[in-house]
């Protein structure tokens, strides 16, 4: 089997090969390291890489699989962890000059669950500074380019994760999502990104523990891989009062859903958000493909309230709590996006905060009434095709100027306010030839049903070349015209361990 074929295996297929003893964790890791050494410089998706520990862990996992006693469902599988999430002993910078030497003493609980299941934490994936924005670039690691065109954005804030998956550098990656940080980059890179309900994965580092606007979640290339990872990550933590205990095998044994039984609602613009006409046309084409296969497909009114102002206040409230004091103490160590969010928070009063929480409650209740009519609601994930990474954000969408840097993410963050789970599935390419992501919304705490419907959608989309997941060709990818690391002003203080030019041990699988 060629290196390309080996690396494009799904995580489930890799683990099955481990079990069949036709592939070892050491051999698979060698393939990943070789791909990283050759292709990561083209897209700059990965930050710190822990090569030495990974080699040792893969060797131990190889022995366990040969003996028939893996320690967990992910034993020996190398994965990427978003650089906002703590990894014990591995540099975690948040893309911030303030944290460019930060090596945590413990894992985030989600990371600990993955490690306990046998996953090898091979690399950290790149992020915007402190996760602020839909373009993954920061002064510590530089920018992440899209694997389909390195001159264009990979999205954010989980852009490094999405790019690493699309480039077949890693089989699974973690992410997080406040206003679209899992869904947007997954859509722009042609992979699957899932924002679960707030109770599914414990998030004990959330600055406001009783606010569910920010969640942690998985990113993968297939639905089976995503549910495998989600099943490991789920669970309660006492420091996250919104989290619930895990249900064993909950996401590995999803209910069977037939497309012909699904009531599908759709919206081109989530209640009037600006969307480029070419994206609307691509979305309509996808609806035409979907419509004959489902029970019902009709327009859904997603004008649920003053969603933009509500999100602005809730986001500013969270940023103010997380970064307000630090910005006041050392403003020069933060970029404009962080300072703008904090300044917005300082301009608000208690009445604004009270209104926003009340408005989110009203949005939730309207959404609940709407979802009584549908099983899922579909819409585009991104209002635009990927743009140049040197551009901070989409300043204009369909002729409408954006009043703040994240306004172009409205198709995603409005869904965050509604409170239900949401997912983006790769669905062919847009008019510009870049990946197109179809977003799906489910009812509040309706994760099982949404995931089951998404799996049925995936089967349909994969049946034709027009809607199948597009594949990036890293061999022919031309590096960005502007060096992705040209914006680095404060490189990491802790030197990341080099990736050796590992040679693939080719094995028939």
Q: Is the pLDDT of residue 299 over 50?
A: yes
User: Confidence class of residue 402 from pLDDT cuts 50, 70 and 90?
Assistant: very high
β-pairing, 263-266 vs 192-195, is unpaired
In angstroms, the CA 439 to CA 61 distance is: 37
User: Confidence class of residue 498 from pLDDT cuts 50, 70 and 90?
Assistant: low
pLDDT at 509: 25
Strand partners, 174: 218
Both structure tokens of 295: 């029970």
pLDDT at 506: 27
Q: End-to-end alpha-carbon separation of the chain, Å?
A: 7
211 flagged as catalytic: no
Percent of the chain with pLDDT over 70: 97
Q: What is the mean pLDDT of residues 367-382?
A: 98
Q: What share of the chain is helix, strand, coil (3-state, %, to 5)?
A: 40, 15, 45
In angstroms, the CA 52 to CA 455 distance is: 37
CA-closest candidate to residue 426, choices 407, 443, 447, 440? 440
pLDDT at 162: 99
pLDDT at 493: 92
In angstroms, the CA 97 to CA 100 distance is: 5
Catalytic residue (one of 157, 318, 416, 480) = 157
For residue range 211-235, list pLDDT tens digits in order.
Answer: 999 999 999 999 999 999 999 999 9
pLDDT at 380: 99
CA-CA distances (angstroms) from residue 343 to 239, 312, 315, 331, 339? 28, 12, 12, 11, 6
157 flagged as catalytic: yes
For residue range 410-436, list pLDDT tens digits in order.
Answer: 999 999 999 999 999 999 999 999 999
Stretch among 120-124, 325-329, 384-388 having the lowest mean pLDDT: 325-329
Catalytic residue (one of 26, 82, 124, 382) = 82
In angstroms, the CA 268 to CA 28 distance is: 42
Q: Is the pLDDT of residue 508 over 90?
A: no
19 flagged as catalytic: no
Residue 377 · residue 264 · CB < 8 Å: yes
Q: Is the pLDDT of residue 59 over 70?
A: yes
Task: Tell me the pLDDT of the chain averaged across its residues.
Answer: 95
In angstroms, the CA 413 to CA 213 distance is: 9
Q: What is the mean pLDDT of residues 340-361?
A: 95
Q: Is the pLDDT of residue 7 over 90?
A: yes
Q: Is the pLDDT of residue 497 over 60?
A: no
The angle formed by the CA atoms of residues 320, 102 and 61, to the nearest 5 degrees, is 120
pLDDT at 483: 98
CA-closest candidate to residue 11, choices 158, 144, 169? 169
User: Confidence class of residue 495 from pLDDT cuts 50, 70 and 90?
Assistant: low
Percent of the chain with pLDDT over 90: 94
Compute φ and ψ for 203, nearest 5 degrees: -130, 70
Residue 147 · residue 163 · CB < 8 Å: yes
3-308+349-461: in CATH 2.40.110.10: no
Stretch among 183-187, 331-335, 430-434, 499-503 having the lowest mean pLDDT: 499-503
Q: Is the pLDDT of residue 296 over 80?
A: yes
Residue 45 · residue 163 · CB < 8 Å: yes
Residue 410 · residue 308 · CB < 8 Å: yes
Q: What is the mean pLDDT of residues 138-162?
A: 98
User: Confidence class of residue 4 from pLDDT cuts 50, 70 and 90?
Assistant: confident
Cβ-based neighbour number of residue 102 at 10 Å: 15
HEC sequence for 188-244: HHCCEEEECCCCCECCCCCCCCCCCCCEEEEEECCHHHHHHHHHHHCECECCECCCC
User: Confidence class of residue 503 from pLDDT cuts 50, 70 and 90?
Assistant: very low
| SS3 category, 94 | coil
Catalytic residue (one of 96, 161, 176, 181) = 181
């Amino acid at each position: 089997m060629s290196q390309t074929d080996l690396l494009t295996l799904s995580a489930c297929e890799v683990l099955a090969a481990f079990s069949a003893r036709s592939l070892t964790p050491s051999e698979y890791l060698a393939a990943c390291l070789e791909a990283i050494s050759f292709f990561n410089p083209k897209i700059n998706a990965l930050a710190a890489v822990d090569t030495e520990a990974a080699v040792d862990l893969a060797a131990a996992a190889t022995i366990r699989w040969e003996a028939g006693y893996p320690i967990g469902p992910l034993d020996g599988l190398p994965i990427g962890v978003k650089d906002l999430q703590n990894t014990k002993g591995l540099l975690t910078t948040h893309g911030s000059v303030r944290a460019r030497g930060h090596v945590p003493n413990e894992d985030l609980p989600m990371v600990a669950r993955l490690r306990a299941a046998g996953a090898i934490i091979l690399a950290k994936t790149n992020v915007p500074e402190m996760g602020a924005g839909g373009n993954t670039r920061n002064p510590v690691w530089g920018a992440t380019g899209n694997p389909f065109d390195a001159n264009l954005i990979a999205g954010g804030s989980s852009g490094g994760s999405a790019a690493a998956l699309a480039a077949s550098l890693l089989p699974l990656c973690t992410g997080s999502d406040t206003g679209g940080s899992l869904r947007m980059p997954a859509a722009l890179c042609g992979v699957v990104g899932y924002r679960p309900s707030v109770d599914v994965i414990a998030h004990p580092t959330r600055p406001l523990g009783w606010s569910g606007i920010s969640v942690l979640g998985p990113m993968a290339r297939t639905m089976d891989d995503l549910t495998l990872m989600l099943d490991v990550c789920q669970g309660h933590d006492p420091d996250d009062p919104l989290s619930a205990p895990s249900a064993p095998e909950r996401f590995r044994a999803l209910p069977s859903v037939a497309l012909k039984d699904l009531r599908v609602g759709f919206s081109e613009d989530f209640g009037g958000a600006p969307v480029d006409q070419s994206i609307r046309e691509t979305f309509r084409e996808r609806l035409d493909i979907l419509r004959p296969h489902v029970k019902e497909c009709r327009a859904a009114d997603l004008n649920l309230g003053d969603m933009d102002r509500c999100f602005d206040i809730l986001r500013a409230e969270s940023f103010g709590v997380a970064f307000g004091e630090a910005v006041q103490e050392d403003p020069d160590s933060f970029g404009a996006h962080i300072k703008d969010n904090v300044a917005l928070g300082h301009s608000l009063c208690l009445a604004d905060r009270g209104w926003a929480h009340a408005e989110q409650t009203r949005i939730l209740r309207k959404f609940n009434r709407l979802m009584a009519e549908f099983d899922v609601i579909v819409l585009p994930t991104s209002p635009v095709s990927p743009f140049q990474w040197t551009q901070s954000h989409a300043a204009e969408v369909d002729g409408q100027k954006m009043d703040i840097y994240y306004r172009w993410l409205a198709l995603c963050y409005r869904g965050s306010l509604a409170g239900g789970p949401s997912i983006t599935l790769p669905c062919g390419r847009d008019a510009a030839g870049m990946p197109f992501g179809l977003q799906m919304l489910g009812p509040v705490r309706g994760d099982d049903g949404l995931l089951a419907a998404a799996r049925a959608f995936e089967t349909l989309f994969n049946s034709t070349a027009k809607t199948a997941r597009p594949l990036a060709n890293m061999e022919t990818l031309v590096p960005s015209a502007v060096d992705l690391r040209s914006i680095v002003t404060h490189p990491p203080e802790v030197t990341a361990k080099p990736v050796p030019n590992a040679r693939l041990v080719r094995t028939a699988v």
